Copies of this chain bind each other. A is one copy, B any other.
Amino acid sequence: MAEIDARPLDTLAIVGLGLIGSSIARGARQFGLARRIVAIDRDEAVLERVRALNLADAATDDLAAGVAGADLVILCVPVGAVGAVAERMGPALKPGAIVSDVGSVKASVVAAVAPHLPVGVHFVPAHPVAGTEYSGPDAGFSTLFSGRWCILTPAEDTDPAATARVQVFWEGLRAIVETMTPEHHDLVLAITSHVPHLIAYNIVGTAADLEAVTQSEVIKFSAGGFRDFTRIAASDPTMWRDVFLTNKDAVLEMLGRFNEDLAALARAIRWGDGEALHDLFTRTRAIRRGIVAMGQETAEADFGRGRPSDPAA
């Protein structure tokens, strides 16, 4: 077993200072994970916010100069953009540098990034399973990853010391690290994240397009359940477009299962099979209890939303 290097990084470079990138910057500073943080973004407005919020020691739109001295470079751009970024920064990376990312899809990221990295640079793909519906450098916060899982998908021949370095970094951000293959990751996330987002986006679109029910009615009576879906359907459009385009096969497979089950449920409704409905509705409660028990969800009613001032009254 290789000795694990838990010292702070000398230089951490973050490419893309959105919700995730800026949360990493905040956390790395708060938890003392890097001596120096370089923020790289092609958007001058984002860089201005990074400077105003003092999220990094340096902020630049020069990708090659920004990554040049970094020990760890984390790509926090939409998964459709990682390949082009890797191609442009590859020649500037220092020997022994570690490249990682935060993409919600892993197999396509590996295929897009790995070919552009020079020999002697380590690639340890990562996916912190955390986020909110807000985007941009102002939306981030240092504890976003606290108690959440971060999945690493290193190749079999990746230097274990590089993988360990990334693991230690994410544990420093208070995440729980698990390792799996990119392919399995993409299947797991298809059902726990991608298809849920797809059906949330879809039902919000369906509701918006009805003629018999006005948009005003949809909004007013949304507390009946619909509003929960609108949170997810307010997530970043570019990020999510890229997720669906790059994890097509797993998403369509899981969506196929969802559709089969939904057809059976519709048939149960049509034929008045109350027992089948009651059975499913009882079974699904157990899964939520498991999620709450594992600390991945609040036990408070209604997510603690609009906490009553007098819950016992």
Binding site for B on A (CB under 8 A): 26, 30, 80, 104, 129-134, 139, 141-144, 146, 148-149, 151, 178, 187-189, 191-210, 212-213, 215, 217-235, 237-238, 240-242, 244-245, 248, 251-252, 254-255, 257-259, 261-262, 265-266, 269-270, 272, 274, 277-278, 280-285, 287-291, 294, 296-298, 301-306, 308-313
Copies assembled: 2
CB < 8 Å neighbour of A221 from B192, B213, B258, B278: B192
Docked Cα-Cα span, A295 to B214, in Å, equals: 18
**Contacts of A251 on B, CB cut-off 8 Å?**
269
Interface pair B134/A301, CB less than 8 Å apart: yes
Q: Is the CB of B197 within 8 A of A132?
A: no
- Given contacts A202-B261, A231-B297, 5 further A-B pairs with CB under 8 A are A132-B302, A141-B313, A146-B308, A196-B228, A206-B254
- Whether the Cβ atoms of A148 and B237 lie closer than 8 Å is no
Q: Which residues of B contact A277 (CB under 8 A)?
A: 237, 240-241, 244-245
* Closest residue of B by beta carbon distance from A306: B298
Contact A255 B261 (CB under 8 A): no
Interface of A is mostly: helix
With CB as the reference atom, state the residue of chain B lying closest to A285.
B234
A216 to chain B, nearest CB (A): 8
Smallest Cβ distance from A246 to chain B, in angstroms? 10
Most buried by B among A134, A195, A219, A310: A219
Question: Which listed residue, B283, B304, B309, B311, touches A208 by the CB 8 Å rule?
Answer: B283
> Contact at A309–B143, with CB atoms within 8 Å?
yes
A146 to B143, CA, bound (A): 32
Q: Closest B-chain residue to A239, C-beta based?
A: B281
A269 interface neighbour in B104, B134, B245, B257, Cβ under 8 Å: B245
A228 to chain B, nearest CB (A): 6
Known: A132-B301, A224-B104, A301-B132. A282 touches B237 (CB 8 A): yes
Considering the chains assembled together, what is the distance between the CA atoms of A237 and B279 in angstroms?
8
